[in-house]
Amino acid sequence: MTEIHTYRCDICGKAFDNEDDCREHEMEHDATKLKGAVVMLDPQGEVLSLDDIHTAIEITYAIYVRCKEAADILWKMFDSNGYCTPIEDIETSVQYPAFFTYDEDECRWQYMRDLEEEYNRLLKLKITAENALLH
Ligand SMILES: [Zn+2]
């Protein structure tokens, strides 16, 4: 006697006899939901195709996410592909739309708003320095 397992897609109901194939198929549904809400770029600034979501997740350097709903789907996919997500690295609260870039030196994601704040802080110091010369 052989017991046969079947896996069913939660979204469309398609049946699979292999768990990994089913998970892969469900991920394709998720990738479809990301279209129009997520753009991922490679280090050269080329837009990555969401049709090959595994490659996109693997090599992406910059991510634009329009809304939290899409972000939640995307981070889940990062997680199941074994990659750390921007929200694990970023301590400030993220407001969408949001833009993230990967810092190769620090091996962590950066939130553009944090970079802007740092830039503004430095700019203020620069102006203080310039003003000190004037008076
Ligand atoms: Zn399906």
| pLDDT tens for the 135 residues of the chain, in order | 988 899 999 999 999 999 999 988 988 888 899 999 999 999 999 999 998 899 999 999 999 999 999 999 999 999 988 998 998 888 889 999 999 999 989 889 999 999 999 999 999 999 999 999 987
Ligand 1 centroid from CA 55, angstroms: 21
- Three-state secondary-structure class, residue 63: strand
Q: Cα separation of 70 and 125, whole Å? A: 37
Region class of 64: left (phi > 0), else alpha (psi between -120 and 50), else beta: beta
Ligand 1 centroid from CA 98, angstroms: 29
Q: State phi, psi for 108 to the nearest 5 degrees.
A: -150, 160
Ligand 1 centroid from CA 30, angstroms: 10
How many Å separate Cα 37 from the centre of its chain? 11
pTM: 0.81
The pLDDT tens digits of the residues spanning 112-131 come to 999 999 999 999 999 999 99
For residue 6, the number of C-alpha atoms closer than 13 Å in the C-beta half-sphere is 6
Ligand 1 centroid from CA 31, angstroms: 12
